[in-house]
A = this chain, B = another copy of it.
Amino acid sequence: MVNVAILGFGTVGSGVAEVIHKNGQHISERVSNQIALKYILDVRDFPDSIFADKVIHDFSIIENDPTIGVVVETIGGAKIALEYTRRALAAGKSVVTSNKELVATHGYELMQLAKEKNVSYLFEASVGGGIPILKPIRTCLAANELSQITGILNGTTNYILTRMIRAGLSFEDALKEAQANGYAERNPAADIEGHDACRKICILASLAFGRQISPDQVPTEGITSITLADVDYARSAGMKIKLLGRAIRRDSDGKVCAYVAPHLVQDESPLANVEGVFNAISVVGDAIGDVMFYGQGAGKLPTASAVVGDVMDAAKHMCYLKNNCWEAGGPDVVYSADEVPSRWYVRLSGAEAVEQARSLGSQNGESAWLTDAVLTPPQVQQLLAGREIKALYRVLE
């Protein structure tokens, strides 16, 4: 028997309770051990829930209960969640989380603590919701030297861009629609400004390349400046605008460049065809070539699916994440996106020609261009010196 405590009975936490309840027999058979939900910690009560009798308000009950083997942290944020995670690990309990902010900022510290205590700190649900991605990278692809990760990592922004592309909605209208459908928060900043995608590419890059990469090392640009004109110009070039998180390992010194920014993606690319709230993550390795993982990147039950998968691993005391996933970070881990060349899409005031670039047309006193040359950011800035830049996005090759 493995007893489980859930911290935070919000969307994901209640999904975890539901999956354990609904598929309990099947889950227990799979791990050859009964998995039982014992406590739900929340500040609120839930008198109408079938789990009402499990709700408690005092974390120390969980901390001091030696029958609790696995703690599920679905509080979010990096304050109380950090404190409880530290205390649970210190008490010798494995911790499973969907909390990308905490893993992206404190992952190394918490894995070290788990290692000391010989327990697991697992976070498959922190990237791509229910999509299996972290464990496949760590195990199935372990024979590869990985070189690149490129992902549509945020469903809210992908939904907004899809509606701009497919229905011709403005950014503002698409955002409102996303909010009305429950795909965007009332305060959408973390999504539309790219911070959520930033945390996820940090976790992916740290896991794939072996050292902690922190959000403050990852230049992050959201989708708030993308207009319907950009969408149309991209279409005329056979491309779609997507918000991508990328991490690129430089062969010469093993340093990693990670960043989040809108990109123009060729229509034929599998990433261009990822629509609505779906996520997709492409991984390139020296043996595997290009492999892609696709699915619902958020949502109650998909995320709970990944959390409960980790609970089962922790319950079986599986070895795969008992070792540290990655080493400590530092300024020497990364190199600057200023050193990463690409072709560029640019929208400018005025219609005057741009050298080494082809025109995508002009309207309303603006013109759009696609550079033929492959340029670093400083080089493209130099090329455009003296012009008023309205939009500047990389083309994904």
Contact = CB atoms under 8 A, between A and B. Distances in A.
Interface of A: 15, 19-20, 22-23, 26-27, 30-32, 124, 130-132, 135-136, 139-145, 268, 270, 273-275, 285-296, 299, 301-302, 304-306, 308-309, 311-313, 316, 318-320, 323
B291 A130 contact: yes
B23 A286 contact: yes
Given A130-B291, A135-B140, A288-B306, 9 more contacts: A23-B143, A124-B140, A136-B136, A143-B304, A143-B305, A287-B301, A287-B308, A289-B296, A289-B301
Nearest to A294: B292
A284 to B, nearest CB: 10
A268 to B, nearest CB: 8
Copies in the complex: 2
B27 A142 contact: yes
Contacts of A309: 139-143
Question: Chain A's interface: helix, strand, loop or mixed, by majority?
Answer: mixed
Contact of A291 (B20, B22, B132, B135): B132
Given A295-B290, A305-B288, A135 B139 contact: yes
Contacts of A287: 15, 19, 23, 130, 301-302, 304-305, 308
A305 B139 CA distance: 11
A130 B136 CA distance: 11
6 contacts: A23-B145, A132-B291, A142-B312, A143-B308, A285-B305, A287-B302
Contact of A318 (B132, B268, B274, B320): B320
A130 B286 CA distance: 12
A308 B143 CA distance: 6
B306 A140 contact: yes
